[in-house]
Structure 1
């Protein structure tokens, strides 16, 4: 009863907020607070209410199960097993025929230089093609005007629907892969994915919403600068320690980002308010994204799951969150109507979703085959190309100071990669020297 009452109260609050701005019938009656409908803070509030429809009852169930020792008192059956899977992980005595917990055995094959080069080129082109296309479509959908053959024009505004479109196909692909390819035994409670799933959809929403207020090159450069919030979250979540070069490169990135913002601030249509909103959204994106990566790192360490299992678990809850929120707000109805009215938008959404899902698979394959350093270099090159393509296609203006800022940021990123590898090599030689002296 308490859970149903909670869901009902949250739903009523959501509908009350929607009625204040009259999202469905803005033309037939004057809304009480019509100006709020275009506010990103108001849209964010509606989204959070939708997510609370799942989060609050889930929290109450978790507390009840733990306080009453429900799993210890009930005999194994379908429903208790489902509760156990969600809240405490699978029964360790069941299903031990899966792959070992440590993950699928790594196949150590000696590839020829030609084969390695071909694989590297395949990964490079795959990542560039999927994510450059994804970035350009992302900017097109959120900033460009759609037009029908009859001359009807319109802008698409629902960032959350784009998050859903990306997540649903990624969930389907990862689920199909898990069914077809043997995976390590999954030991993590499903609710552990909720944290990084929530931060993941929030970071994606902020990323899409920010394009209404800042240019795509600004957003890409902000992503290259997310090392700073990653370090902050690493300190808070994982208690990590960082070397001096990491702090130095973080400062360089901050300087470069400042130069870029100062050098690209005179774009006529931008105002202080929109720029501030864009920066707040970009900052929120980086914080949520940094939390996501650090939380996922903790899950990998604690439960030794595969990357595809992580992809499937995170996207499962992302689909649940966004589906409930879109249903409450009528987002599916409005977005599907927009699709019918502007068929080009439907095609853009399909390609965007395919690029996002395939791009995630390319990420996992590249890291597994060549390691994270090669992946970071490829994606840094992709960011440079994304800025260049966006400026050429959508005619963004960047001054000499802005170009200098871009150069400083990417020099700092490559310097960070070089110092990281150099330090690892030095530590490796020291260990080998100590082992050698010990044998003597």
Structure 2
């Protein structure tokens, strides 16, 4: 067979020109690949077949929704419940770094178990396969750890409407950083789809918030608050785009490997912070990022004392950590197969899907503008699905001609 192929090549009028033409064609096919399942890297035929599996996508989406719906309920219960035994007193658990540390420790453990199950032999799937991968992983872990504090701090200087509008537009910084930092190319319709989905989510969340109860946040917006919010979005975007770059540069590197590696690093970073927090409180650094460091004993000691007084919150934190870890299994599975842009689309639109479930289940009503937002989101997703299907058929036809 190899000889036949060689003879065929020699029969070309100009072998080098034919190879050059084939190279251009391959580059165009690769360059025009849409964001999503091919974001991570150039997939093999077996991987491409797997990524196109609708059932696989539904499992990932269902797993993310189920895990983080429960996770969100537990998070709200932990951070809003008054655990004080006496009327008139108020004791609310307000130690987010401790919660995140417990969750990342659970996720690192679950990720390692996932790696062990996936291994065919003992040397397979090393957590850190090379020294070169450590630095980009450390960048992701650092951005992920720093993102939330800047987001919480921004709420002290911007109103809640501005905050949720910015978070609804998370797709934009992800795409922007893909284009500017990593030179990724998208077809025009991909930009249009992102604009539709972002507009739909923004309209939906804005009108949901204006009709609901007053949320925690400042009464107005300040330049400093907008800067903090911008840093939060920048860190979110860097997290997702750098993860894609890691998958592209260090193939084969799986979602379970990255999940374990990043959570080990995140746990190390947050534990270091918790141990240093009493000293940070003394220097006043925590004031500038909006952290509650009023106690000289630090967040870890205060959180442990709170749990000793109210053991029920400890069980809620364990449940919160387990659900978050399970959600990460599906997140990293989605990220390694479909890419960050589709993952962010799933997480950004999760609120709309949960609201629709609430409408159907409890008989609630949506406003006209909220229905417009829902229509834009589903319209964008439908347009992408149809155009992706056409693009895939066109590429397969091109390969057959080759």
Q: TM-score range by the shorter chain?
A: 0.5 to 0.7
Q: Is the 8 A contact 1:224 1:409 kept in 2?
A: no
1:280-429 equivalence runs, <5 A: 283-304=230-251, 305-329=253-277, 330-365=298-333, 382-388=350-356, 399-429=367-397
Secondary structure at 2:93 match in 1 = coil
1:285 and 1:398 map into 2 onto residues whose CA distance is 30
* 1:147 equivalent in structure 2: 83
Pair 374,178 (structure 1): closer, same or farther in 2 beyond 3 Å: same
Q: CA deviation at 1:319?
A: 1.2
Q: CA deviation at 1:159?
A: 2.5
* 1:265 equivalent in structure 2: 210
2:195 and 2:331 map into 1 onto residues whose CA distance is 28
Pair 343,270 (structure 1): closer, same or farther in 2 beyond 3 Å: same
* 1:226 equivalent in structure 2: 170
Q: For residues 267-316 of structure 1, what are the alpha-carbon distances to aligned partners after superposition, in whole Å with 9 as ceiling and x for unaligned?
A: 56358835648876665443322211211222222222222221122112
1:2-401 equivalence runs, <5 A: 125-142=62-79, 144-151=80-87, 152-179=89-116, 181=119, 182=121, 183-184=124-125, 186-189=129-132, 190-206=134-150, 219=164, 225-260=169-204, 262-263=206-207, 264-265=209-210, 267=212, 269=214, 273-274=218-219, 276=221, 283-304=230-251, 305-329=253-277, 330-365=298-333, 382-388=350-356, 399-401=367-369
C-alpha root-mean-square deviation of aligned residues, in Å? 4.3
Q: CA deviation at 1:129?
A: 2.2
Q: How many residues align?
A: 321
Q: Which of the residues 364, 374, 398 maps onto 1:430?
A: 398
Pair 138,284 (structure 1): closer, same or farther in 2 beyond 3 Å: farther
Q: Is the 8 A contact 1:159 1:209 kept in 2?
A: no
Unaligned runs of 5+ in 2: 1-40, 278-297
1:284 and 1:391 map into 2 onto residues whose CA distance is 35
Q: Is the 8 A contact 2:159 2:220 kept in 1?
A: yes
2:231 and 2:371 map into 1 onto residues whose CA distance is 25
Q: Is the 8 A contact 1:259 1:402 kept in 2?
A: yes
Q: Is the 8 A contact 2:168 2:201 kept in 1?
A: no
Secondary structure at 1:325 match in 2 = helix
2:188 and 2:138 map into 1 onto residues whose CA distance is 34
Pair 405,351 (structure 1): closer, same or farther in 2 beyond 3 Å: same
Q: Is the 8 A contact 2:274 2:299 kept in 1?
A: yes
Q: Is the 8 A contact 2:140 2:242 kept in 1?
A: yes
1:367 and 1:247 map into 2 onto residues whose CA distance is 20
Q: Is the 8 A contact 1:377 1:414 kept in 2?
A: no
Q: CA deviation at 1:140?
A: 3.2
Unaligned runs of 5+ in 1: 1-101, 436-440
Pair 120,246 (structure 1): closer, same or farther in 2 beyond 3 Å: closer
Q: Is the 8 A contact 2:168 2:202 kept in 1?
A: no
TM-score (norm 2): 0.64
Q: For residues 239-265 of structure 1, what are the alpha-carbon distances to aligned partners after superposition, in whole Å with 9 as ceiling and x for unaligned?
A: 112211122223323433553465333
Secondary structure at 2:218 match in 1 = helix
Pair 266,178 (structure 1): closer, same or farther in 2 beyond 3 Å: closer
Q: Is the 8 A contact 1:131 1:355 kept in 2?
A: yes
Q: Is the 8 A contact 2:64 2:330 kept in 1?
A: yes
Pair 322,376 (structure 1): closer, same or farther in 2 beyond 3 Å: closer
